[in-house]
A and B are shown apart, each in its own frame.
Chain A
Amino acid sequence: MTAQERQIGRVLRSTTAGYTVGCRELTAEQSRPMPEFGQLVKAQMLNGDTIYGLIYCVTIEDDAFVRQLVAAGVEEAEFIEDQRQRRQVPVVVDVLTVGYGRGDAMIHRLPPQPPRTLDPIFACDGAEFVRFTAEPDWLRIVLAAQDAPVDQLIVAALRAAAEARPADQRQPYKVAAGRELARLLSLDIARLDGILRQLR
């Protein structure tokens, strides 16, 4: 898959802590990746940095045509599919920035600048996901997020990160990550327990 093929959309607006991506459609043709909750995505900066983020919200808004189709009671599959493919407003994907890459290093801090509008956003492949999650410090950034459904996001991201690893490393990875969470959430045992249970 080329980088072009892994593109999921372009930046609509951004802040240091995160950005919003507009995607053309949700149901992709075969090759296009669909934005997924908990997925790791990246933006390429001019200075060579790569900004990483986790998808925490996918919003599909209505538009005038959708309303009309629903109001008119259109049932033909043809119309519905056509409407879905050619949307007037983009699917909106909210991304939480969790770090950046500089050279070979993965840095679990907020980047100096956010991506600019209309920068392309790409889905990361498994290897990159594994590299980014090798150290558990990104969990700290997620836990500090304001608007995201933090616990669910952590569960989804950790499960995906484990899944990206070879079968024999999945359990040890979950244990190591779980211990980091146990340290970070030692004051909130009920919450910790909730997350860990969903990690199983």
Chain B
Amino acid sequence: MTENLTDDQAWEEMTSATEERAAAKAAAERAERLGVISGGSLSKGLDVKLDRDTDIEKLAVGRYVVAHGRRARFFCMITDIALDSTNPLIAKQPPDMSDPLLAEIHRGTTTFGAVHLSPLLLMEESSDEVKPIKTVPEHFTPVATASQAEVSQVFGEEGAQKVGGKAIHNFHIGAPLDMENVKVTLNLERLVERSSGVFGKSGTGKTFLSRLLLAGVIRDSVAVNLIFDMHNEYGWAGTSEELGGQVKGLKQIFPGKVSIFTLDDESSRRRGSNPDYVVNIGYDQIVPEDLEMLTGILNLSEPQIGAMYALHRNFKEQWLNNLLNEEWIKAQRGTNPDTQKEITGLRAVAEETGQPLNVLAALQRRFERMRNYSFLKPKVLDNSVDRIMRYLDAGTNIVLEFGRYGNDLGAYIFVANFLTRRIHERYVEKKELSFGREGQEPRHLVITIEEAHKFLDPAVAKNTIFGAIARELRKYNVTLFIVDQRPSGIDSEVMSQIGTRVTMLLDNPEDIKAVLSGVSGGDALREVLARLDTKEQALILGHAVPMPVVVQTRRYDPDFYRAMGLRSAEELGARLDENRAAMRPPKDFAGFD
């Protein structure tokens, strides 16, 4: 048969490359095709009648699908899955489905699957932009599972991109539900541009996800980080419940970009984290404002707070040193104005500062506890804040390990507050200098705190530095990254300033309400939130994503380390050998003539 064809005929018989490509595309579309639009509305969502070949048992809500309309594609999400029939009677008189012929005839004709879609965005054929949706596709528009390209068009292509002359970095954060192999990205610049938060009940994977996100920020140098690592999980060897083992900390992944500071040298060394610097704070560096935040924890009364300020006024930076120094107190002398008798000790101090004796005595007792903090010293030679600023200025990220003090909320709050206040001050200074072109703008700083509600609860948020940072947005190039399991404990005004909210499972209605406050479509999202897995699934909403999205979070594992650029010793060795082999002349090389 073929032999008889002339060349021309043979040429005609051959499929052209374009045809082949079109055929391949059509085949791919057919493979991913789920069904056709059968009705619906913009406000209530679209109905899809599933094709016979679509296996309803393999679908899941949350999957992204695209309706391929004539002029545009409609990006939608499956929100419900249903069984339908052309005639409701069939449900009452079920055919004999044990017969293969009958079963095959009925499946997909009289009885079929249906899904409900919520239309999300419009993708016009002519441009790469996505637009808000304002209409619906026609009847019987084919609907297919969204491809990676379509998901990328919505969320942004993974990696560095130039958009309007500005560099942006899209970070792969996980996969849409039911679409394991598709990557959802989040815009890191926008993540740090305003304060962000990761929420979820205990054990849902907040810390893992935060470390993942921070790794992205560090790798792409989107901002410099200061992480208050309460439980020693970020810097070096976090523990994984599930693997029963350890995972790498940020310094292990980015040895050149992350430094570990510690409050508890002994604990850090015991865990092998080899801190770069031990943070010490001198009593003389502490001002009453630093302790005011601890009112709740130290159980300070109003008069006691007043007394702190009075002491500070009188003794300047020596106030705390003096108060805690038995010798010094014993040596104090004064006179009682009523009796003109000489008085000594605390009584004399009380007289001098005009504070009641019992208040001072109580204050002294409250502060006793600080003696247990080995990082507090009467006097220190080095200024920790200077040191931290130097590192941050150089673009080095800092993880501050708390060691054993992580279990002491007082220590955690005190230190985080102490350092943040001062660093923020420096940032304000620098930023203001940069306005007058007298200095460079400081690098964008992201401060990570766990147990954030302790810093941001309504009682204290108004007058603490963290509340101020959250409220002033990015004015001074400092934003917060808060990790918390009780978002309802966070001041609502602060919460409203959290640009990007990543929330994992929450079951307390108050908490759910708090994270969804001020979010449009909150009711539908509440439903979504309540249905998240107990682990490693997150709803991301806000500034860093174009629309709310539920993801199966990316694994924090050796593959991730590699993606972040970490190479194992063996690999580096192999690479070295390769290079050596390439440079060495072949065995039979006899030299150049």
Contact = CB atoms under 8 A, between A and B. Distances in A.
Contact-residue size bin, chain B (C-beta under 8 Å from the other chain): 10 to 19
Interface in B492-534: none
Nearest to B105: A178
B148 interface: no
Residue of B87, B102, B105 with most partner-chain A CB within 10 A:
B105
Contacts of B383: none
A105 interface: no
Given A189-B89, A189-B90, A192-B110, A197 B105 contact: no
A200 interface: yes
Contacts of A183: 86, 109
B96 A179 contact: no
B86 A186 contact: yes
A187 B85 CA distance: 11
A184 to B, nearest CB: 10
A199 interface: yes
A199 B109 CA distance: 17
Given A187-B87, A189-B110, A179 B105 contact: yes
Contacts of A134: none
A200 B96 CA distance: 12
A174 B100 CA distance: 11
A173 to B, nearest CB: 11
A190 interface: yes
A197 B104 contact: no
Nearest to B95: A193
Contacts of B87: 186-187, 189
Nearest to A172: B104
Dominant SS at the A interface? Answer: helix
Contact of A196 (B86, B90, B95): B95
A59 to B, nearest CB: 33
A186 to B, nearest CB: 4
A182 interface: yes
A183 B89 CA distance: 14
Contacts of A182: 86, 105-106, 109-110
Nearest to B106: A182
Given A186-B86, A189-B87, A196-B95, A178 B110 contact: no
Contacts of B559: none
A158 B106 CA distance: 17
Interface string B89-112: 110010110010110111011100
A179 B104 CA distance: 9
Nearest to A182: B109
B101 A174 contact: yes
Contact of B93 (A179, A190, A196, A200): A190
A73 B330 CA distance: 149
A172 B110 CA distance: 18
Contacts of A70: none
B102 A200 contact: yes
A171 interface: yes
A200 B105 contact: no
A45 interface: no
A196 B89 contact: no
A175 B93 contact: no
Given A174-B101, A196-B101, A196-B102, A189 B93 contact: yes
Nearest to A186: B86
Contacts of A181: 105
B440 to A, nearest CB: 73
Contacts of A186: 86-87, 109-110
Interface in A39-72: none
B357 to A, nearest CB: 94
A196 B109 CA distance: 13
Interface string B61-91: 0000000000000000000000000110110
A168 to B, nearest CB: 15
A160 to B, nearest CB: 17
7 contacts: A174-B101, A178-B105, A179-B105, A181-B105, A189-B89, A196-B102, A196-B105
Given A178-B104, A192-B110, 8 more contacts: A171-B101, A179-B109, A182-B110, A186-B86, A186-B110, A189-B90, A189-B93, A200-B102
Interface of A: 171, 174-175, 178-179, 181-183, 186-187, 189-190, 192-193, 196-197, 199-200
Closest 7 CB pairs of A and B: A178-B105, A186-B86, A182-B109, A179-B109, A189-B89, A182-B110, A175-B104
